[in-house]
């Protein structure tokens, strides 16, 4: 089973994230980048499937030059090769444009399964996997907390509000994973050394056959009109429990008409 894992580099969760004032996109230059946490689970799941049933794992990342750090990490974990879609024309792509570009790049890589994280920590939209399935005409198996690969089929447990759904589809399929699915491995020293020699292909818009007017800020379907830091919250009232903390809290709730 050949698998492509889509991995995104995002601003470090702990860093203060910003939008750049000029074009209102996420400022990716001024902060440290890390692999989107959920994508580590996607990489791990791909490696587990490969270990059980063979095939190749390819990492696919769309993002600026510095996303190579994230690609290296995925390769150090054990992925076989990588494709980096990088082009100035991609800057500012929203989900609609990103999914189009990723679908085009996927067209250049042979695959039975595409695995993604369920959500990126910067965009937090949780839409790219479903969009990709739609674009590729492949089955959508998203929010997986368990993946079972059969002969030409994939079965997942899809996390729901009340429990889970068992969903099955033929390959090719697009799978997104939740963080309950596995425990991502740490790259070993050997893995880090090996990663340096693994093939990394760079694709430009032209290489992937991407129409330039369908990506980037101009090709996106959405725009940020305005943004502002959230007005600082008025400092709340904090009391120390002197044996009456519960009563004081109840009084506050009564004042606010919750009781």
Toward another protein, which CB reaches closer, 6 or 96? Answer: 96
Q: Which residues contact 38 (CB under 8 A, 6 or more apart)?
A: 117, 118, 119, 120, 121, 177, 178, 179
Residue 239: C-alpha distances to residues 86, 223, 236, 242 (Å): 53, 43, 10, 9
Residues 178-197 that bind ligand FAD (CB under 6 A): 179
Q: Within a 13 Å sphere around the CA of 233, how many CA atoms are in the beta-carbon half? A: 3
Return the number of other C-beta atoms located less than 10 Å from residue 151's C-beta. Answer: 6
Q: Which residues contact 249 (CB under 8 A, 6 or more apart)?
A: none
Is the distance from CB of 31 to CB of 15 less than 8 angstroms? yes
Segment interacting with another protein, rule: CB under 8 A, options 46-54, 62-70, 74-82, 226-234: 226-234
For residue 58, state whether it binds ligand AMP (rule: CB under 6 A): no
For residue 37, state whether it binds ligand FAD (rule: CB under 6 A): yes
Q: How far is the CB of 102 from ligand FAD (least distance, A)?
A: 22
Binding mask 121-160 for ligand AMP (x = CB under 6 A): --xxxxxxx-------------------------------
Binding mask 95-124 for ligand AMP (x = CB under 6 A): x--x-----------------xx-xx--xx
259 binds, among ligand AMP, ligand FAD, another protein, none (CB under 5 to 8 A by kind): another protein
For residue 186, state whether it binds another protein (rule: CB under 8 A): no
Q: Cα-atom radius of gyration of the chain, to the nearest Å?
A: 21
């Amino acid at each position: 089973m050949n698998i492509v894992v889509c991995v995104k580099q995002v601003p470090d969760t702990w860093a203060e994230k910003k939008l750049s004032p000029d074009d209102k996109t996420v400022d990716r230059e001024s902060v440290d980048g890390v692999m989107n946490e959920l994508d580590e689970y996607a990489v791990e799941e791909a490696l587990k499937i490969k270990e059980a049933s063979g095939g190749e794992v390819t990492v696919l990342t769309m993002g600026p030059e510095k996303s190579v750090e994230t690609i290296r990490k995925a390769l150090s974990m054990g992925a076989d090769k990588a494709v980096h879609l990088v082009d100035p024309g991609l800057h500012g792509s929203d989900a609609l444009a990103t999914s189009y570009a990723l679908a085009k790049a996927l067209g250049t890589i042979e695959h039975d399964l595409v695995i993604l994280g369920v959500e990126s920590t910067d965009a937090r939209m949780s839409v790219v996997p479903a969009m990709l399935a739609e674009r590729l005409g492949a089955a959508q198996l998203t929010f997986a907390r368990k993946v079972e690969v059969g002969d030409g089929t994939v079965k997942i447990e899809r996390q729901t509000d009340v429990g889970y759904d068992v969903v099955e589809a033929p390959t090719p399929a697009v799978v997104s994973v939740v963080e309950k699915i596995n425990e991502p491995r740490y790259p070993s020293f050997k893995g880090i050394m090996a990663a340096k020699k693994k093939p990394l292909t760079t694709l430009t818009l032209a290489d992937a056959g991407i129409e330039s007017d369908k990506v980037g800020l101009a090709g996106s379907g959405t725009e940020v009109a305005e943004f502002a830091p959230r007005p600082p919250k008025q400092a709340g009232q904090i009391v120390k429990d002197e044996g009456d903390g519960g009563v004081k809290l109840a009084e506050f709730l009564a004042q606010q008409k919750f009781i």
